[in-house]
């Protein structure tokens, strides 16, 4: 396969062309101009259209558009009735908002471990973490790979917990033919520009519960009742509304999402088949209960033993030199983030509430992923099929010539 690119050889994935992201399509431009010229830039037809079309796409009864994915989780927590001092189970391997939203509403986050095979919350860890103060779970469909709802829903029901599905990565993912975000009390989504449905910033919550939908809609709009624009406010709450401009862009992106997800899924299948024959590259398990995939990042686990003991970071460096844009992902579990040092969390909680010692927490599944994960972003899966096939060729090239790196 020739000399490694990192030591001066030709790049194995020289032909790999990753599409630009986000994609400023003509449809988005048209919708954005229409929204601008309408002079109806706040609540109005563009927001209502996005909420209606997103709810229809996810087979949900209600959707409430918000400013971003972080406030989507906070809004869902407030709407389900989380009170100061309540305890909420949260994932240990995710973007920080999946957990930081909990102390932001005055509740105590309790971290559960991650299943390193799926990157999702470990159901057994969820069961073990429940205490008499636990009121709910925020779980993430990480990288669009759905959580095991067959395992989680009985636990939630047995202990009378609420479930918020953080589906920021999972626009269009399905479990047993049902769109994610509709199994729990709320599903929350992000439209940040790196997501597969981007509008720069923005987010949305969905629910099938009429009461929760009305409550969330009121809390999203500074406590105003649905449809009201005057100065009567029924809840003490913030303003998390989305602008018409974000909605217009999101609608244009939503229209092309199903076709893009089909391309991503087909290209991922090519990679999964090729990676299965490469020692040291472990992919997520095939699961027939996952009937459709949404995407944000995608992940494999790297085993140095398959590459002669080559450290993960050196493998990433070599693969990037070959033309494959990969990276390590989250460097530490959320509970090791400085923001979760105990004093910072305590300031957000009522006096006298016990705060776990996050700094000294040890969850082996999450820590394994921080050490072994290799990520690539969803636009890579939109490349042409011949380009996609250069990726496993580049991995094999690194493996075949690993001696060059070990000697160096």
Single out the catalytic residue among 86, 166, 208, 387: 166
**β-pair type (290-292, 297-302):** unpaired
- Per the listing, tokens 């029901």 go with 157
Residue 93 CB-half CA count within 13 A: 30
- Per the listing, tokens 């890579």 go with 380
Give the angle 136-189-391 at the CA atoms, nearest 5°.
115
Single out the catalytic residue among 110, 141, 179, 195: 195
Active-site annotation holds for 362: no
Distance separating alpha carbons of residues 381 and 371, to the nearest angstrom: 24
Single out the catalytic residue among 93, 95, 111, 145: 95
Q: Write down the number of H helices and E strands in the chain.
A: 14, 13
Collapsed DSSP state (helix, strand, coil) of residue 203: strand
Task: Give yes or no for a cis peptide into 116 (omega within 30° of 0).
Answer: no
Active-site annotation holds for 29: no
Active-site annotation holds for 241: yes
Any idea of the CA torsion for 340, 71, 186, 96, to the nearest 10 degrees? -30
Active-site annotation holds for 343: no
How far apart, in Å, are the Cα atoms of 199 and each of 202, 254, 269, 363, 386?
A: 6, 10, 28, 35, 30
Active-site annotation holds for 166: yes
Single out the catalytic residue among 11, 58, 78, 169: 169
Single out the catalytic residue among 241, 346, 389, 396: 241
Q: What are 355's two structure tokens?
A: 């705060």
Is there a contact between 138 and 101 (Cβ–Cβ < 8 Å)?
A: yes
How far apart, in Å, are the Cα atoms of 25 and each of 101, 270, 323?
A: 33, 27, 26
Is there a contact between 92 and 136 (Cβ–Cβ < 8 Å)?
A: no
Distance separating alpha carbons of residues 304 and 306, to the nearest angstrom: 5
Give the angle 260-264-269 at the CA atoms, nearest 5°.
150
Burial class (CB in 10 A: 0-12, 13-18, 19+), 92: buried
Distance separating alpha carbons of residues 352 and 335, to the nearest angstrom: 21
How far apart, in Å, are the Cα atoms of 225 and each of 146, 149, 309?
A: 34, 33, 61
Q: Which residues are catalytic?
A: 95, 166, 169, 192, 195, 224, 231, 241
């Amino acid at each position: 396969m020739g000399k490694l690119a990192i030591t001066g050889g030709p790049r194995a994935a020289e032909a790999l062309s990753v599409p630009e992201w986000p994609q400023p399509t003509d449809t988005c431009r048209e919708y954005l101009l229409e929204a601008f010229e309408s002079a109806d830039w706040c609540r109005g037809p563009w927001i209502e259209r996005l909420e209606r079309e997103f709810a229809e796409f996810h087979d949900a009864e209600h959707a409430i558009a918000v400013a971003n994915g972080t406030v989507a989780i906070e809004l869902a927590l407030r709407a389900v009735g989380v009170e100061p001092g309540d305890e909420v189970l949260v994932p240990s391997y995710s973007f920080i908002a999946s957990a930081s939203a909990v102390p932001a509403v005055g509740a105590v986050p309790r971290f559960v471990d991650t299943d390193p095979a799926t990157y999702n919350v470990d159901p057994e860890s969820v069961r073990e973490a429940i205490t008499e103060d636990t009121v709910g779970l925020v779980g993430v469909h990480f990288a669009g790979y759905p959580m095991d709802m067959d395992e989680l829903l009985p636990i939630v029901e047995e202990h009378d917990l609420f479930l918020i599905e953080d589906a920021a990565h999972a626009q269009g993912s399905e479990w047993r033919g049902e769109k994610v975000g509709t199994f729990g009390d709320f599903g929350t989504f992000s439209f940040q520009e790196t997501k597969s449905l981007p509008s720069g910033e923005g987010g949305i919550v969905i629910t099938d519960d009429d009461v929760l939908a009305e409550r969330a809609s009121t809390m999203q709009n500074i406590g105003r009742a649905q449809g009201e624009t005057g100065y009567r406010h029924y809840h003490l709450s913030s303003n998390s509304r989305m602008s018409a401009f974000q909605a217009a862009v999101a609608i244009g992106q939503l229209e092309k999402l199903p076709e893009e997800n089909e391309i991503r899924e087909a290209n991922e299948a090519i990679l999964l088949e090729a990676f299965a024959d490469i020692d040291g590259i472990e992919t997520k398990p095939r699961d027939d209960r996952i009937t459709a995939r949404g995407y944000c990042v995608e992940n494999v686990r790297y085993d140095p033993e398959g590459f002669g003991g080559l450290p993960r970071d050196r493998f990433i460096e070599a693969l990037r030199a070959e033309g494959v844009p990969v990276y390590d992902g989250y460097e530490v579990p959320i509970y090791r983030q400085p923001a979760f040092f105990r004093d910072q969390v305590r300031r957000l909680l009522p006096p006298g509430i016990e705060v776990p010692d996050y700094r000294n927490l040890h969850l082996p599944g999450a820590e394994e992923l921080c050490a072994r994960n290799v990520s690539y972003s969803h636009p890579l899966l939109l490349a042409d099929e011949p380009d996609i096939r250069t990726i496993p060729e580049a991995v094999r090239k690194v493996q075949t010539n690993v001696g060059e790196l070990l000697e160096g």
